Amino acid sequence: MKIFLETFGCQMNEYDSELIRSILRSHDHTFVEQLDQAEVALLNTCAIRENAHERIYHRLDDLKGRKRRQKNLVVGVLGCMAQNLRQELAEHAPIVDIVAGPDSYKRLPQLIDSVRGVGEKGFDFSLSEYETYSDIAPQRQPGVNAWIAIMRGCDNFCTFCVVPYTRGRERSREPQNIVAEVHRIAAEGFKQVTLLGQNVNSYRYEQSDFADLMASVAEVPGIRRVRFTSPHPKDFPRKLLHTMATNPKLCKHIHLPLQSGSDSVLDRMNRTYTKRELLHLVDEIRAIMPEVSLTTDIICGFCGETDQDFEETLDVVRRVEFDSAFMFKYSQRRQTIAERKFHDDVSEEVKTQRLMRLIEVQRDISKKRNLTEVGNTYEVLIEEPSKKDPNEWLGRTDHYKGVVFSDDSVKPGDFVQVRINAAGTNTLRGTAERQGWRRLPVMASPAACCEH
């Protein structure tokens, strides 16, 4: 069959689509770039916020029209939304033939066969305690970075979050199996791996913890950079910070989701840390890795959030000075603890006002932090042509700053020394330094810069 697969949502979904491609290709299906050419249309979906659902329902409306013209088109909804809205999708979206949750991808060939063969719709929402797809080699798009899921699911049950319900219980892959896959990734020419998990730093397999795994992955020849996402602040023991600090292949960037700066909101969210503990962790991280960059996720307008609670969030944001942040309005999700226990009582208007204010505060901080980079020289890994000007490159520093520069003698995957000469809110601009040309010392931190 000719399959069109569209992916919505997070990196884990992108990665799952690579697994789905591999599973279906091994059953002689092929993939097409255009929906017009497809016999099967699969949407790999996200359920994290309401706007993700809306986008997918919108896409299903398009497919409804298409199915009127192409009667035998098979439509499948996969992933988190499939798991979260299974009943609704099965009953109210008659155009949907297949619904399969995140642990059911191996059954897809069978589900497609039964729709095409006997015209029977195929639904599989079972969640597994064991499925890690460690026996499937994902069909990666060639590039600079390879994603690799080291664990799946989440046991944290943050009260706002649907993930523990859509992706099930936490389970980690065997380290030997992960390292063997990283060897294959290196042999395919990838320079960077990003370890993925819903709660990546709670990785544990028998005696191996996340720090041990990071160190083993970094030993793989050919891999120059190792990143990870997304961690939880509760799982940053000193051992992990020291491992990161002392191993040059482990990138000095931590995405540290704050969610809120107010103790009472953090408690209602079941985040298991207080404002003070989070600030202490940030101090500890920066003491051990002064050059680290920190990014975060923040939710505005969670149930019961007062103006004072929101001020606490702004206070943490101002004190920590994250390099950048993903900021969201709270969106009540079905099945979650917050839906059952609390009222979604902050008005849409107030959520929007708080979000706008937060974005403004963070924007100034991002710009200010980026400006301190001017004058530094960094090793930049080239990712792709810049979206704004394809004659320029977009690359990243070890500490995850996007850098735009021009150099016609290099290509994606190359490492280039770039001197930063301008800074915006989101990216830095620089000039490539030629080998044998004026070679400045690599400055690790703004503090090092000021001493010159």
Contact status, residue 398 vs residue 345, Cβ threshold 8 Å: no
Question: Can you tell me whether residue 336 is helix, strand or coil?
Answer: coil
DSSP lists the bridge partners of residue 385 as 393
Binds 331: which of ligand SF4, ligand 5AD, none (CB < 5-8 Å by kind)? ligand 5AD
Question: Which strand ranges, in their side-by-side order, compose the sheet holding 122-124?
Answer: 30-31, 2-7, 40-45, 74-79, 98-100, 122-124
Strands 151-152 and 145-149, bridge-based pairing: unpaired
Rule CB under 6 A: is residue 328 a binding residue for ligand 5AD? yes
Closer to ligand 5AD by Cβ: residue 175 or 233:
233
Closer to ligand 5AD by Cβ: residue 48 or 317:
48
Please, what is the minimum distance in Å from the beta carbon of residue 150 to ligand 5AD?
18
Q: Could you give the string, one character per residue 219-258, with x where binding to ligand SF4 holds by CB under 6 A and - elsewhere?
A: -------------x--------------------------
CA distances from 427 to 245, 363, 374, 395 (A): 24, 12, 12, 10
Closer to ligand 5AD by Cβ: residue 105 or 160:
160
Rule CB under 6 A: is residue 158 a binding residue for ligand SF4? yes
From 41, 18, 43, select the one nearest 142 (Cα to Cα): 18
**C-alpha–C-alpha distance, residues 282 and 189, integer Å:** 35
Residues 6 or more apart from 179 whose CB is under 8 A from it?
A: 216, 217, 220
Q: Which stretch binds ligand SF4 (CB under 6 A): 126-134, 144-152, 159-167, 422-430?
A: 159-167
Q: Which stretch binds ligand 5AD (CB under 6 A): 107-115, 124-132, 323-331, 414-422?
A: 323-331
**C-alpha–C-alpha distance, residues 438 and 358, integer Å:** 41
111 phi/psi in degrees, rounded to 5: -65, -40
Binds 49: which of ligand SF4, ligand 5AD, none (CB < 5-8 Å by kind)? ligand 5AD
Please, what is the minimum distance in Å from the beta carbon of residue 236 to ligand SF4?
13
Rule CB under 6 A: is residue 295 a binding residue for ligand 5AD? no
Rule CB under 6 A: is residue 419 a binding residue for ligand SF4? no
Look-up of token digits 């460690």: 134
Question: Which strand ranges, in their side-by-side order, compose the sheet holding 293-300?
Answer: 253-255, 293-300, 324-329
Closer to ligand SF4 by Cβ: residue 156 or 397:
156
Binder among 7, 44, 45, 198 for ligand SF4 (CB under 6 A): 198
CA distances from 268 to 23, 163, 264, 271, 342 (A): 40, 17, 6, 8, 9
Please, what is the minimum distance in Å from the beta carbon of residue 210 to ligand SF4?
14
Q: Which stretch binds ligand 5AD (CB under 6 A): 18-26, 136-144, 324-332, 360-368?
A: 324-332
**C-alpha–C-alpha distance, residues 275 and 316, integer Å:** 8
Contact status, residue 108 vs residue 31, Cβ threshold 8 Å: no
Binder among 160, 273, 322, 405 for ligand 5AD (CB under 6 A): 160
Closer to ligand 5AD by Cβ: residue 67 or 333:
333
Please, what is the minimum distance in Å from the beta carbon of residue 317 to ligand SF4?
18
How many CB atoms are closer than 10 A to CB 429?
18
Closer to ligand 5AD by Cβ: residue 259 or 376:
259
The closest residue (CB) to ligand 5AD is: 297
Closer to ligand 5AD by Cβ: residue 162 or 211:
162
State the burial class of residue 376 (Cβ atoms within 10 Å of its Cβ: 0-12, 13-18, 19+). Answer: buried
Please, what is the minimum distance in Å from the beta carbon of residue 361 to ligand 5AD?
17
Rule CB under 6 A: is residue 150 a binding residue for ligand 5AD? no
Rule CB under 6 A: is residue 199 a binding residue for ligand SF4? yes
Binder among 19, 24, 75, 161 for ligand SF4 (CB under 6 A): 161
Closer to ligand 5AD by Cβ: residue 304 or 385:
304
Residues in contact with ligand SF4 by CB under 6 A are 154, 156-158, 161, 163-164, 198-199, 232
Residues in contact with ligand 5AD by CB under 6 A are 48-49, 160-161, 257, 259, 297, 299, 328, 330-331, 333
